[in-house]
Structure 1
C-alpha cells in the first residue's frame, strides 16, 4: 500500500516532463520465475530473474488481508530474491505480484496466487488473479480493439474529436505511434509536419470522422491521447544520447502549444500473449488535470466487463461549476486559467501544478495541519499496525522535527527526516520519499529487517493520511467515510473526483468512487486501474 503500488500513477509525469519516459511499466517478457516455498514453518516468497535485475519489490496479501509492499533481499546462495512471509502457515492463501527492474526501466508483473502447502511448496503456484471471470489466455488472439465514443451531445462533431495512440515497441524499445490501420510505426523526426506557432509537431492524430476504432497488437508504456477542437501537439525529438524521444504536453509551461487545447488521456500497457502477465493494464487518471469527463470500459474473454472513470451523468460545465461550489475557496482557482493565453474552462489543474506550489498563494495551505500533527506527536505516540509487519510507534523528536518510528515484527527504527511542507504532501516527495537515516546514509533491506522498504511504506501511509486529513486516527486511514472531515484542510481536489466517479464494488472501496486524485491515492485500494489477461475491446467515451 505504498508508492510502489502506483504502477500507472508513477507514469503520470507525462504532463510535466518534456520527454515522456515512465518510471514503471508493465512487464516486458517471461523474464523471471517465482513461487512460495515452505521451509519448516517459514513460508518464503521468491523471485528469480533472468534479466538485468538489481532490485525487486513484492506486493502481497495473506488470506485477502491488507496488501503489503516490501523490497525483497537477495539470497546469493540461491541466486534469487526472497522475502519471509510473517504470519503465513500451511493453508494460507498468498496473492502477490512484483515490481522489478531490467536495467533502467521498472516493470510490474501479473497478479499470482498460491496456497502454502506442506511438503515444502505451494498449491496452484502462479495462478493469475484477475477481476471478473478471466478467459482462457490461450484463446486470446493477441489483438485488442480500441474504440473512442463521442458522447459530447453535439458540442463537438466527429470531425473535431481527435485521438492518437503512442507508446513503446516491445521488440525494440523504440517510441512508436499507431497508424489508422493499427500498425505500430517507429517515431521519426520526419513525422513533425504539423505547424503551430511556427514550430512543427508530429502528425499522429486522426479525427473520429476518419476512424472510430483501431485494432492493435501489444504496445508498451502507451497512452491514448484525446482532444476536442484541435489535435494535440507533440514533438518528436532526440535525447542526449541521440535516441528518438518525444516532448509531450507541459501544462506548467507558458509557451506550450497545448495550453489552449482541451485534452485528456488514458494510460495502458498491452502485454504480449504467452507472457505471465499477458493482457492489459489500463486506467483513467486525474493526478495532473481534468480535461473532460472520460469513461473507460474494458471487455475481455470469459465475460470480463469492467467500467471506471466518470459516469457521464454530469456535464462538463456542471463539473466545473460543482467543483467551484464543493471545494474550499483555496482550491477554486484550480479551475481558472493558469496563464493569460489559456481560455476559460480549459482544464481543472491538480494542486501541485498550480497555486499550491512552493511560493504560490496556497503554497503553505497544509503547513498548519502538518505542524499541528508534528506538535501532537511530540508528546504522544502515533500507534498503528500494518498487517504482517506488526505494530509501530512513532514520536517526533522535538529538537530535530524528525518523526522516529520503532517496532514492527523486525523491531526496527524508521524515519521521516523532518516536517514536510504542503507540496511534499501533495506530491508524496521529499521527506515523504526518503530512505535515508539521520546520518545521511541509506536504509538497507536485509532478511532480518526490510528497513528501506518499511521506511518508505510508513512515509506513504503518513502521506496519504495527511492528504485525507486522518493522520491522528489510524483506525480511519483506510475508511473512506472518515476521509476529508468537513471544515478541515486536506486534498479536496482528490475528494471531488472520488465523489464524481464510478463507485467501487470490492473491499474498502465498495461504494466509494474510484479515482486517482493524487499520485498515491491508490493507498487502500481506491484506484481506477483495470487488468484482464485476454482483452478484446477497450472503449473510452468522451463526455461533455
Structure 2
C-alpha cells in the first residue's frame, strides 16, 4: 500500500512533512545570493561494507509540482503513469561510492528523499496516485530484507533543509551536512562510536515489548528497528504501552492547568488546558475554548496524528505539536508549562517513548528526528542554509 499522507509518512507530493514547519519559518531574513537550480551532494561511504551502494533522489519538482526522480546530474525525470496493481517504476538508481570512497552528484530543487541501499537495488512501484514508498512494516514488502535508509531534503529558492530521520525506522546510519557560503560546514546525524550496536542492545534490554521492533534477516543480520508507531500498528508493541502515562496526565490536569506557549518567538501567545468530561479543552486568554483533545492512545502519540492531529494552522496544530512532544518525552507531569525544552527532563518516566530515548542517547550531538515533532525545542537532526554551496551525505559504520 502507498504511504498515507501523514507527517510520519512523508509524501513526495508536497513539501516534506518533517520539514514543513521549518519551511514556513525558514526563509532567510536577509538577502542571500540566488540558490542555483542544482547543488552538489557529496556522498562518502564510510560504512566499511563491501556491497555496492545504490542512491536515489526522489521527490516533487517544486517548479512544476510533478513527482519524479533526478539523475546524477540533477536532471529531473517525471514518473510515468502507474497502475493498479502497482507497476514497476523506472530504474532511478545511481551507483554510489565504494567503501572508503566519495562520489558527488547534483540535486535539484526538490522536496523529497535521498534513499541509499546496500547490496541490491530498491523495488519502487507506481500506482495511479504516484510513487509507492517502501513500507517494511509489511512483511511482504519487497524491500523488507534490504538494508537501506533515506534522508529528507527540500532545496528551494530560500535554501537547503536536509535532515537525518528515524521517524519511520532506525536503520543504516548516516549523517548530513551543508557547506555555507563562508566555507564552514555544519553536520549532524553521526552516531557515537559503537552507537549502532549500543542502540540495538539497549532496545533488546528494554522490557515491555520494545525488542519486538527489531527486524532481522533469516540469517540473523540486523536490518532495522521499526518506529513504535509501526510496532503498535503491526502488533509488535502492545497497543496500551502508553496508557498508564496518559491516564496520569489526564488525572493531573483535571485539577490543574497545562499552559502551552507554542511559539518561541511569541511568548505572550498562551493556551490553557484542563480536562473535563475526559476531554482536554484548551482556552485562550479570554477563556474561550479554541480546541479540544480526546485522551490519546499510543498510536496517536507515536504518530503525532489521529487524536493528536496537527493541522497546518495557528492554533490546534501548534498545540498538538507541543502535546505530542510532551507525551513522547514524558514531560507533561514534571512541567505544567510546555513545551519543556530542558533535555534533562526528557524520557525520565518509566512510561515513555523508549525508542526515541535510546536513539537520542546514541547520537554524537544528541540530535535526532526520533518522532515527527522532535523539532519542538530544536532536538532535530537538521542542517539548513540559505545559500548552500554543497550538501553532504556520509554513510557511517554499522558498529
TM-score, L = length of structure 2: 0.84
> Would you say 1:348 and 2:225 are equivalent positions?
yes
Q: In the aligned structure 1, how far is the partner of 2:39 from the partner of 2:69?
A: 16
> Would you say 1:324 and 2:324 are equivalent positions?
no
Q: How large is the RMSD of aligned CA atoms in angstroms? A: 3.3
Q: In the aligned structure 2, how far is the partner of 1:393 from the partner of 1:309?
A: 35
Match of 1:216 among 106, 114, 124: 106
Counterpart in the other structure of 2:53:
161
Counterpart in the other structure of 2:364:
502
Match of 1:523 among 354, 366, 376: 376
SS of 1:137's equivalent? coil
> Would you say 1:232 and 2:122 are equivalent positions?
yes
Unaligned residue ranges in structure 2 (runs of 5+): none
> Would you say 1:455 and 2:336 are equivalent positions?
no
Distance 1:433 1:368, change over 3 A: same
Match of 2:90 among 202, 210, 223: 202
Unaligned residue ranges in structure 1 (runs of 5+): 1-8, 28-56, 60-96, 100-107, 113-126, 129-135, 191-198, 240-244, 436-444, 446-451, 504-512
Distance 1:235 1:384, change over 3 A: closer
Match of 1:431 among 300, 307, 310: 307
Counterpart in the other structure of 1:149:
44
- Between 1 and 2, higher relative CO (CA 8 Å, sep ≥ 6) is seen in 2
Counterpart in the other structure of 2:146:
261
1:109 Cα deviation after fit: 5.4
Distance 1:206 1:342, change over 3 A: farther
Q: In the aligned structure 1, how far is the partner of 2:244 from the partner of 2:278?
A: 15
Q: In the aligned structure 2, how far is the partner of 1:259 from the partner of 1:516?
A: 22
TM-score, L = length of structure 1: 0.63
Distance 1:298 1:390, change over 3 A: closer
Distance 1:169 1:343, change over 3 A: farther
8 A contact 1:336–1:348 mirrored in 2: yes
Counterpart in the other structure of 1:137:
33
The structure with the largest alpha-carbon Rg is 1
Distance 1:312 1:152, change over 3 A: farther
8 A contact 1:13–1:20 mirrored in 2: no
Counterpart in the other structure of 2:344:
481
Distance 1:415 1:224, change over 3 A: same
Within-5 A mapping of 1:31-180: 99=24, 110-112=27-29, 127=30, 137-138=33-34, 141-153=36-48, 155-157=49-51, 160-180=52-72
8 A contact 2:54–2:120 mirrored in 1: yes
Distance 1:341 1:466, change over 3 A: same
1:229 Cα deviation after fit: 1.2
Match of 1:270 among 142, 149, 155: 155
8 A contact 2:209–2:236 mirrored in 1: no
8 A contact 1:26–1:221 mirrored in 2: no
